[in-house]
């Protein structure tokens, strides 16, 4: 299996196999390769099932209401009339803060629904994507899937991340 694409670190690798650096004469440069006997795929699928469990764990907190801390951020980021006007978040500061992608995502969530539910689902999705990225990074560093999966699950389940999911601006 060649790990050359930007998201290839999410592809399962064999946990016992060491990655071998193979010099390539192609313009892409050296490529990382590892044999695949299916163990990494099983661990990756297990991680995905565990992330489904993480979603179910956080589900009870997915309420259709905002917290008091969310309102100031909503008021400053939902007043744009259309997408082109919303792009102005890239050229203007919000007080001392400059977080244009977060502000644009708040506006996009508000266009979907006026309740807090899609905001919470977006935050949960971002948390799960961060967990998968952490898994991929740790798997490359440790060259083993199982320890990377365990560490990623600890990250996903840690109670401090409930703030990232239940408060709208936790996505920063």
Residue pLDDT, tens place only, 75-109 = 777 778 888 888 888 888 877 878 888 888 888 88
pLDDT given for residue 97 in this prediction:
79
d(CA 20, CA 68) in angstroms, rounded, equals 52
Per-residue model confidence (pLDDT) at position 41: 79
Q: What is the pLDDT of residue 19?
A: 41
Residues with pLDDT less than 50, the chain: 1-12, 14-27, 29-35
Cβ atoms of 62 and 117 within 8 Å: the answer is yes
What is the per-residue pLDDT for 68?
81
d(CA 130, CA 137): 10
Q: Count H helices, E strands: the chain?
A: 7, 2
pLDDT at 138: 92
Q: Residue 35: its pLDDT value, please?
A: 45
pLDDT of residue 47: 79
Q: Let me know: does 33 contact 19? Beta carbons within 8 Å.
A: yes
pLDDT of residue 63: 81
**What pLDDT is attached to residue 6?**
47
**In angstroms, rounded to a whole number, what is the distance separating the alpha carbons of residues 97 and 74?**
15
Whole-structure pTM value? 0.70
């Amino acid at each position: 299996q060649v790990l050359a694409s930007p998201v290839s670190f999410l592809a399962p690798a064999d946990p016992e196999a060491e990655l071998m650096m193979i010099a390539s004469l192609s313009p892409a440069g050296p490529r990382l390769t590892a044999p695949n006997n299916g163990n990494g795929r099983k661990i990756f699928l297990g991680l995905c099932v565990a992330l489904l469990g993480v979603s179910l764990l956080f589900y009870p907190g997915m309420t259709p209401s905002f917290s008091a801390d969310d309102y100031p951020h909503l008021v400053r980021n939902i007043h744009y009339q259309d997408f082109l006007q919303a792009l102005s978040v890239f050229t203007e500061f919000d007080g001392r803060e400059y977080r244009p992608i977060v502000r644009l995502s708040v506006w996009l969530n508000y266009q979907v629904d006026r309740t807090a539910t899609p905001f919470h689902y977006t935050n949960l999705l971002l948390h799960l994507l961060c967990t998968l990225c952490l898994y991929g990074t740790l798997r490359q560093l440790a060259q083993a899937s199982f320890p990377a999966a365990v560490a990623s699950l600890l990250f996903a389940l840690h109670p401090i991340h409930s703030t990232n999911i239940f408060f709208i601006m936790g996505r920063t």
